[in-house]
Amino acid sequence: MSQISIVSSADAQKVDEGTKAWQLYADSPDIIAARVNGELKDLAYELVDGDTVEGVAIDSADGRDILRHSTAHVMAQAVQELFPDAKLGIGPPITDGFYYDFDVAEPFVPEDLEKIETRMRKIVKEGQKFDRREISDDAARKELADEPYKLELIGLKSTAGDAAEGASVEVGEGGLTIYDNLKRDGSVAWGDLCRGPHLPTTKRIPAFKLMRSAAAYWRGDEKNKQLQRIYGTAWETKEALDEHLHRIEEAQRRDHRRLGQELDLYSFPDEIGSGLPVFHPRGGVIKREMEDYVRRRHIEEGFEYVGTPHVAKEGLFYTSGHLPYYGEGMFPPLELDGGDYRIKAMNCPMHNLIFRSRQRSYRELPLRLFEFGHVYRNEKSGVIHGLTRVRGFAQDDSHSYVTPEQAPAEIKHLLDFCLSLFRDFGLDDFYLELSTRDDSKPDKFIGTDEEWAVATKVLEDVCIESGLELVPDPGGAAYYGPKVSVQARDAIGRTWQMSTIQYDFNMPSADRFNLEYVAADGSRQQPVMIHSAKFGSIERFIGVLVEHYAGAFPPWLAPVQVVGIPVAERHADYLHELAKRLKAKGIRVEVDNSDERMQKKIRNAQTQKVPFMLIAGDDDIEAGAVSFRYRSGDQDNGVPIDDAIARIAEAIETRAQV
């Protein structure tokens, strides 16, 4: 048999003609697929001369996606075996799991998921082989004649990835393929339209669990039929699955929607509308502290505070490019004075008008404008989630107008500002994500190739200089320029997108706002505009902080910083006098005058996650002291009043956590 040359694991080697990828990794059970010439392939792929081959481990990002998509196929097979009339939608891998959509007569209930999971275990144990075969469009239509949603995807084909979330795992440009699940005798147990790759067999699925079911519109369009979506998760080991389930339990304990209700911080009244939260007095304290802090920090960093209205004539957003490129994210027009107005979804067009309101000199640059601008975005109801995805929110929004030569230093200044701000709020684990344009979709971006290259290089250089991990995000740029986002990890390791810094060479251009400054030589030059939102949105950042701290805010942010707890009613006046001294120092303090017993008052304060409790009885009054109790349950008795006040003030001043 003749031999062919391949490159495997960076070493050139010769193998027999007809060798399949799995043969290179027969002694590596953690390898479940191969990357051949940069493309993911099944291990059954037959190698050809000149191939470069790399094994894909099951615990890698690509390996987990393959594992989860294979598990989604097993789930869909189990559903159709148990519910023969179920029609198949789409079943892609997602972060930490997978889902599959089904058209069924009745919604799934928890008992159904138990039956499906049991059937899945049977399929896994059988060791069915995932077998790929190519098929023509006409043959696929004939074979899938009873699957209307699959037929629709075949019709969309090359555009399906854009038309339906997750559809790219099934169809795309080029030919179609079907993956059959084969029994040990070679007969077909089940099959699905899919691009692959997949695990070699179902026995390679180590650990999985079905999580829940929910309604979902076909192709994410509210005008389409509502299907039933089953979510699941799959991991490379039983231990990894257990760790994931523990993280979910911890996330549920920290859920900001539940804690917001328990701590009386905010609510989401149906009478106002979806995605439009209101802040209660205690939540208002947190919001005010954040606003006061970030307003002061912006002024310290050289920004000037401005204000702009909530609505503007529609033409403004055509000038900025938002309506042509971001129109679906804006609310419908309002008719006023015979013309159309729009509720603003961003502040930058109005800041440009402030810049343009008079002649600017190079001596004024960088010119930094900042405001708490309340904006409104037409988010789909299915993605709205508490405070972290809303329709109305306040941005700590800034725009820096600089010369091209000043842009790198300004971006570094903004990045350093953002990171120092997050550290003050107790977040200190970051990485950066660089979002660039998708060159295959030039109609979604404006500007020349050279402008994009310059802007991207400036952002990339600053990111690399920061020393932080840099992750590429191809295609994630705004239509007007590339951006870098700060991704912060919270107390349980989840990642949240926080600040964004965007390099914009388009809005200042003559075709848009025609922004100019007078250069040192007297010529008129176009500035670079750098967009930056530090919190992203105050509402979202509050939601992140609630979950990061599980509601137990550091004292400087806590709505109530101190609770005075009298041992008996006769001790209340003593604590009220102490409360006056604390309030004189700006400390938020309450005295519990309820009829509850002392121990119940302590439990109530701990439930409300108050940082400090000052307890007073006869001995304390006689000594001019208090029993100083932390929400952790630690307690120091006989602490002199002056020492207690100093201890509280220092914790607030230093933003310490207790």
- The active-site residue, picked from 128, 228, 395, 406, is 395
Residue-wise pLDDT for 144-183, tens only, equals 999 999 999 988 775 555 556 667 777 777 789 999 999 9
- The active-site residue, picked from 219, 254, 256, 531, is 531
Share of the chain above pLDDT 90, in %: 82
To 10 degrees, what angle do helices 407-424 and 449-466 make? 40
**Rounded distance between C-alpha atoms, residue 129 and residue 168, angstroms:** 23
241: part of which helix (H) or strand (E)? helix 238-253
Residue 37 is encoded by which pair of tokens? 């010439």
Residues in the chain with pLDDT < 50? 1
397 is an active site residue? yes
- The pLDDT value given to residue 166: 67
For residue 139, the cross-strand partners are: none
Separation in Å, CA 310 to CA 358, 372, 400, 461, 590: 23, 11, 21, 36, 37
- The active-site residue, picked from 157, 298, 483, 512, is 483
Q: Are 500 and 485 in contact (CB under 8 A)?
A: yes
Q: Which positions ≥6 away from 559 have C-beta within 8 Å?
A: 263, 265, 281, 282, 283, 285, 286, 553, 588
- The active-site residue, picked from 150, 282, 348, 561, is 348
Q: Which positions ≥6 away from 442 have C-beta within 8 Å?
A: none
348 is an active site residue? yes
Separation in Å, CA 116 to CA 93, 124, 184, 217, 232: 18, 12, 22, 22, 11
- The pLDDT value given to residue 109: 95
129 is an active site residue? no
User: Helix (H, G, I), strand (E, B), or coil: what is residue 165?
Assistant: coil
- The pLDDT value given to residue 204: 96
368 is an active site residue? no
- The pLDDT value given to residue 8: 72
570 is an active site residue? no
Give the pairing type, strands 562-566 and 589-591. parallel
H helix intervals, 360-431: 407-424
Instruction: Report the candidate in 168, 170, 150 with the shortest Cα–Cα distance to residue 87.
Output: 150
399 is an active site residue? yes
- The active-site residue, picked from 377, 548, 609, 631, is 377
H helix intervals, 90-232: 110-126, 137-143, 148-156, 160-163
395 is an active site residue? yes
- The pLDDT value given to residue 539: 95
For residue 478, the cross-strand partners are: 481
- The active-site residue, picked from 64, 69, 368, 399, is 399
